[in-house]
Chain A
Amino acid sequence: MAAVKLVELAHARSGDKGDVVNIGVIACEPEHYPVLAEALTAGRVQDHFGDMVKGKVTRYELPNLHALNFVLPRALGGGGTVSLMMDAQGKVFSTALLRMDMEVSDEIAMHVRGRGRVPPHLDHDVINPDEANR
């Protein structure tokens, strides 16, 4: 077995409904969905977020879309304009979840290593300070 980050296996989008965040986590490769479904339990997600989420996490499965949906109640400091959080609409809870460490087979680890991030050889093209300030 080997350690990878969830961001190497999945992409995700999150958003809000009141004080509730939902995070849809989607396997980048359909054949890795069972790995996510096995390891990424509601309890694991609850532990990952710790005191960032005050309510009980629920997990829903969308196997046809190779996706899991996590619902995180009481995660937004009241939600809407009541919330004083920078991310009051839960838009980047998605990548906070993708920080999670995952144990996968050596074969999968070799296959996905480095995914989910701008490849180093492109880094200069994507983040060129001269371009950004032009």
Chain B
Amino acid sequence: MRVGGGGARPVRVAGAGGFWGDDLEAPVRQVEEGPIDYLVMDYLAEVTMSILHKQRARNPEAGYARDFVSLMERILPACLERGIRVVANAGGVNPGGCADEVARAARRAGVRGRVRLGVVTGDDLMPRLDELLAGGHELRNMETGEPLASIRDRVTGANVYLGAFPIAEALGRGADVVVTGRCVDAALTLAPLLHEFGWAADDHDRLAAGVVAGHVNECGAQATGGNCLAEWWTIPDLDRVGFPIIEAEPTGEFVVTKHEGSGGRVSPATVTEQIVYEIGDPAAYATPDVVADFTTVRLSGAGKDRVRVTGARGRPPTGRLKASIVYSGGWRAVGTLVYAWPDAAAKARAAARVLRARLDRLGLHFDEVRTDLVGWDSTHGGLAGPPPPDLPEVQLRVAVRGSERAPVERFSREVAPLVLTGPPSVTGFGEGRPRVREVAAFWPALVPREAVEPFVRVETREA
């Protein structure tokens, strides 16, 4: 518990980003618009990890979220002045390299010698993958049950999700900025609470409360009115939406809120939508630190844009950690054209038939070809019903995927010709040829804790 002014006050952990590419101004607003103690940012979606693996393969000094470095250059002086500490998994697949760049950013920002950096490593399994396999760990796919050996030669990266204790250790050693690689998103918020309140590893209910807090924080404005379906048209000022702030107490109770005067909304509806986001069994939300039970959680209004969260229960974590393994899944491309009234859907379907017949005649083979009509059934499928009889326009979207690059390249040259050689009333080809992209496939697997934890390192250094 922080002590200052008139007495003890809760610790304020501000969520400032839900993925690499989220609102660049959000961290600045979190620092500038009101009091916070910690600023936490999640940069690592699975797709992001695959991009970072590719970048590091080309350049050993790359492989982290570069936006984080420029952000630090911008806000570090204010953070130091206000005592705000930063925790981010911006390290990607190169946390050490990221920390080096943050150190340079600190110099450029004029705070040289005043910053202590923390770095957590040990999540990268790639250097030890064959050793693990040889040691009898099959790393079977959690969804399909297949052993990793079946795709081993296509693996480009392998990371295990770490928990909050190594980050808390870095904070305990005085780090102002902690950079990690792959960790569970909720750990970014749980770690400051472990550090501040000294919660023990077997204090499962409090750890679970911290995981719930982290789950609320980890997708940024998705907890504060962004992407909220409940009466969305009444949610004010999303152009300057406030990002979530967790006001936590040593008991594990916390309030979700946002800066006064910011846009968006914090209500039981907005918070509940985030609590149920991307979960499986809500009674067993597994993390490396605790298995949290979301079904025991209760929400109550605690004033305007304030929701109190109580009742989280936890159980000991399992003996296994989740790993995310990236492998090359071939190549893909998506082509689109727009067809206009009258009979827009019929024209688009006819064009798709022409295209597919041409692909067949060229002898091109794909693992999958998918045709959708955007504006009618591309998201709700058969639930969308038949196309409205007088549809004003529709976008034809044809997507292909294959193990070889060449057929996908050829597909990308077969879309534009439809404009002059297919059904009429077609437009919307101004973006040029479809881009051919490599498919990053994911292989979720479990690894015994003892095969990971001895390799986790926490380093702190001055910058």
Chain B, residue nearest A50 (CB) = B382
Q: A77 vs B400: C-alpha distance in the bound complex, in angstroms?
A: 12
- Interface size range on A against B: 35 or more
Contact of B361 with A by CB under 8 A: no
Q: Which residues of A are found within 8 Å of B437, using beta-carbon distances?
A: 81
Q: Which residues of A are found within 8 Å of B277, using beta-carbon distances?
A: 13, 15, 24
Contact of B298 with A by CB under 8 A: yes
Beta-carbon contacts of B257-287 to A below 8 Å, as 1s and 0s? Answer: 0000000000001001111111111110000
Which single member of B229, B311, B379 contacts A13 (CB below 8 Å)? B229
Q: A111 vs B334: C-alpha distance in the bound complex, in angstroms?
A: 45
Contact of B143 with A by CB under 8 A: yes
Contact of B439 with A by CB under 8 A: yes
Pairwise interchain contact B381-A96, C-beta atoms closer than 8 A: yes
Contact of A39 with B by CB under 8 A: no
Which B residues from 359 to 399 make CB contacts under 8 A with A? Answer: 368, 370, 372, 374, 378-383, 397, 399
- Report the minimal beta-carbon distance from A55 to chain B, rounded to whole angstroms: 9
Contact of B80 with A by CB under 8 A: no
Pairwise interchain contact A15-B329, C-beta atoms closer than 8 A: no
Q: Chain A: residues with CB nearer than 8 A to chain B?
A: 11-13, 15-20, 22, 24, 26, 28, 48-52, 60-67, 69, 71, 73, 77-82, 84-87, 92, 94-96, 99, 118, 122, 126
Q: Which residues of A are found within 8 Å of B311, using beta-carbon distances?
A: 64
- Report the minimal beta-carbon distance from B212 to chain A, rounded to whole angstroms: 11
- Interface size range on B against A: 35 or more
Beta-carbon contacts of B167-206 to A below 8 Å, as 1s and 0s? Answer: 0000000000000000000000000000000000000000
How many residue pairs, one in A and one in B, have C-beta atoms under 8 Å apart?
137
Pairwise interchain contact B297-A84, C-beta atoms closer than 8 A: no
Contact of B84 with A by CB under 8 A: no
Which single member of B47, B276, B283, B329 contacts A26 (CB below 8 Å)? B276
Q: A105 vs B158: C-alpha distance in the bound complex, in angstroms?
A: 53
Contact of B344 with A by CB under 8 A: no
**22 A–B contacts, CB within 8 A, in A order:** A11-B229, A13-B222, A13-B277, A17-B280, A22-B278, A26-B276, A49-B383, A60-B295, A62-B282, A64-B311, A65-B275, A67-B272, A69-B280, A71-B280, A71-B281, A80-B47, A82-B439, A85-B370, A87-B379, A95-B380, A96-B380, A99-B383
Q: Which residues of A are found within 8 Å of B329, using beta-carbon distances?
A: 81-82
Contact of B299 with A by CB under 8 A: yes
Pairwise interchain contact B229-A64, C-beta atoms closer than 8 A: no
Pairwise interchain contact A118-B280, C-beta atoms closer than 8 A: no
Contact of B404 with A by CB under 8 A: no
Chain A, residue nearest B443 (CB) = A18
- Report the minimal beta-carbon distance from A84 to chain B, rounded to whole angstroms: 4
